[in-house]
Structure formats: C-alpha cells, structure tokens
Amino acid sequence: MDKFKNKSSFIKTLNGKYSSVKPIWLMRQAGRYLPEYREIRKKAGSFLNLCMNPKLSAEVTLQPLDRFDLDAAIIFSDILTIPMACDRDLRFVENEGPRLKPIKEEKEVFDLQLTNVEYLEPVYESLNLVKSELKEKKALIGFAGAPFTIAAYMIEGKGSKDFSNCIYFFNKYEKTFLELLNKLEVFISDHLIKQIEAGAEAIQIFESHAEIALKENKFKRFCIEPNKKIIKNIKKKYPNIPIIGFPRNAGNYYLEYVNNVNIDCLSIDQNVDILELINNLKSKKMRNICLQGNLNPEVLLKGGIQMERDIHYILESFSSLKHIFNLGHGVIKETPIENIHKLIKVIRDWEK
Ligand code: CP3
C-alpha cells in the first residue's frame, strides 16, 4: 500500500513522491486582500484578538481555500505570539505594524520566561478545528519564526529597515544574545511540537530577517545553528513531519543553510536566481531537497502578461525538480483577488 496515496500533493511532493497536481499555497494567503478576512477582523476588533480566538482564526485560515484551488492551509497566527507569551507587551499599531517592549538590558534576557502559555493555546485549538474541517487532500501547515528573527523584533521593539538596536546589542553583548537565541530555541521547538500534536502535517520556519545576521557575518552562529537545533528537536520526536526553511534574502548563503540544516524543503525569495541555485545544488552534489517559491509578490499585485511570463519561467525552471509553487514573500494587501485566480489558472493549465 502506498502510504502517500490519500495525501495532498503538497505532502507527497515534500516526501519526494510524484504528484500529478502541482502543489500551490501562498504566504499570507489569509489576509487583508480578502473582503471576508476584513469582515472577520472587524468582528474580532484587532489582529491579535483574531489570532487569540480559535474559532475565528480557524475560519480565516480556511477562507483562501474556499475561494481558490490551493493545496495547503497555513494556520492563522503570528510569529510574535512567542514574545507575547514571554510578557513583552505585544501590540499591533494600525498601518505601522508590531510594537513590543524592547529588550535593553542583559538582565531582561536572563529573566525571560515563557510564562503566559495560555497565549499559545488558541493556536493549538485553532489547528484542531481546521484539521476537522479541512477537505481531503488539503494539507495543514504550522509555523514559527526562527530565533534570530524573533530576537531582532524583541530587541528592536518593532519592525525596522536596519535593526540597528539589535545589531548594537549583539555586538556589545554577544554571549547574552546567544543566551536569548538558546531560550527561544526551546520555546519555539516546544511550540512547533505542540502544533504537530494539534494536527499540523508540515512546518515552516520563517527566518525573515536572515539578511541582518548575514551583513554582520553572523549567519552561521545566529541563523544556521539555532535553525539546526530546532529541527533536531522536532525530528527526534517526529521524524516524518516535513520541515520547510525560509532564510529570506540569504543570497548565496542558501547553500550553506541547506548543507547544515536538515530541512526537507527550501523556500526561496524572489531575489534568488533560480537557475544559478539549481546549478549550485547539482554541481555541489547537495541533497536533493524540495524547493518552494518564488514569484515576486509585486508581480502578483500587478498581474497581466508579466505575471504569466514569470509563472511560466518558474514552472519551466523547476520542472525536473520537486517544487511547491509559492511567492517569494507574503501576498501584498492591495493584491486584486482576480490576479490570484489567474495565477492558479495559469499553473493548472500548464499542468495539462
Ligand atoms: O501566511 C499566512 O497566511 C499565515 C499567517 C501569518 C501571519 N504572519 C499573519 C499576519 C504568518 C505566517 C505570519 C508570519 C510573520 N509575522 C512573519 C514572517 C513572515 C514575513 O512576513 O516575513 C513576520 C515577520 C511577522 C510579524 C508581523 N506580523 C508583522 C511585521 C506584521 C505587520 C505587517 C503587516 O503586513 O501589517 C504582522 C501582522 C500580520 N500578520 C498580518 C497578518 C495577516 C496583518 C494583520 C492585519 O492588520 O490584519
């Protein structure tokens, strides 16, 4: 019996099995570009209320699958629920993004504890609900931010172009910063394991700010090592759950990431030259992993003939490889819904 027979094309592809259906999902597929999302968000009162309400978050998770022929749902939550559960006063300011109580002193790192576990419980409840409602052959993805990306927000207290406070902190107090990464590794591993136990069939780890570590020559120490440890913790317990790594904007350091971190799939941003990446993976005899990506979200926003061309280019380039279609980053909130219908149609027509 083929144990993958009834699985989604997404899970099959992650496991290296042939699927006649191209797996498609989009980062931020549930979000503000959808009127039905905006309606539920209004009902919830705020983004965080929505994340903390399992029923509403499950509903929002399923919305894009009701509208589009997607192959996976990603649980609706946020990477910053971990600092929230550590008492770092998370808020979201309209049109500005997240705000947290910034870590300024070393003592705050030593005192850091994940005390408010109840903030994470809605994520597991929501996974349970989604799992019970998800149609056959659709997969459910759990996720978390990687330690460096979460630490960057915790020190900076907000999103930033250059994360200068974070860079200042880790250069001045490197040992303490490593202690922060260590603590986050434990919290994140535990959070991901609980997501698997609540029904997640695959995991994505978002290292969205890898490029800050890269610029400071700390990619190995701050990104690779913590990612590696988290995956080891998960695989020890759940060796068959596929893990997608997303070291965004890591440029050529993707190769070092793949070589060192035991991911099943590498998600790539739109700045990666696909052919160069494939050549490098082949010529360096690297693991035959699955790749995910990488349509530019700006191209999806604009649509038209350029979008069709770019989609075909991605499909052709990856045609001999295990590939999951996705964007290079999240859906932009002004994206017209018809562009997403078109994107899926172009991919489905190409398969025929
Ligand atoms: O992909 C999905 O559909 C699942 C849900 C999801 C969200 N955030 C919902 C969200 C996921 C996987 C995330 C991950 C996340 N959150 C990351 C990593 C990926 C990335 O984008 O680089 C980061 C850095 C965050 C932190 C975060 N959350 C920021 C910086 C912001 C504000 C930016 C913005 O778009 O407003 C958020 C808010 C957020 N997270 C929204 C959504 C749908 C918008 C909330 C709203 O106003 O309704």
pLDDT tens, N- to C-terminus, the chain (352 residues): 678 888 899 999 999 998 989 999 999 999 999 999 999 999 999 999 999 999 999 999 999 999 999 999 999 999 999 999 999 999 999 889 999 999 999 999 999 999 999 999 999 999 999 999 999 999 999 999 999 999 999 999 999 999 999 999 999 999 999 999 999 999 999 999 999 999 999 999 999 999 999 999 999 999 999 999 999 999 999 999 999 999 999 988 999 999 999 999 999 999 999 999 999 888 877 778 999 999 999 999 999 999 999 999 999 999 989 999 999 999 999 999 999 999 999 999 998 7
Ligand 1 centroid to Cα of residue 43, in Å, is 19
What is the token pair recorded at 344? 């899926």
Q: How many CA atoms lie within 13 A of 3 on its CB side?
A: 3
CB-based contact 254:277 (threshold 8 Å): yes
pLDDT, residue 1, reads 60
Provide the residue count of the chain: 352
CB-based contact 9:70 (threshold 8 Å): no
Instruction: Give CA–CA dist 329/297, Å, rounded.
Output: 6
Which DSSP letter does residue 27 get? T
pLDDT, residue 251, reads 87
CB-based contact 329:269 (threshold 8 Å): yes
Measured from the CA of 31, which atom of ligand 1 is nearest? 43
pLDDT, residue 152, reads 98
Ligand 1 centroid to Cα of residue 31, in Å, is 9
Burial of 308 (0-12, 13-18, 19+ CB in 10 A): middle
Q: Is the CB of 76 under 6 A from ligand 1?
A: yes
pLDDT, residue 284, reads 77
Strand bridging mode 97-99 / 91-93: antiparallel
Place of tokens 């280019």: 313
Instruction: Give CA–CA dist 348/69, Å, rounded.
Output: 9
Ligand 1 centroid to Cα of residue 153, in Å, is 13
User: Domains, the chain, ranges and CATH?
Assistant: 9-351 (3.20.20.210)
pLDDT, residue 227, reads 98
What is the token pair recorded at 31? 């979000």
Which DSSP letter does residue 3 get? T
Measured from the CA of 208, which atom of ligand 1 is nearest? 22
Q: Provide the strand spans (E) within the chain.
A: 72-74, 91-93, 97-99, 139-145, 202-207, 243-247, 265-267, 290-295, 323-327
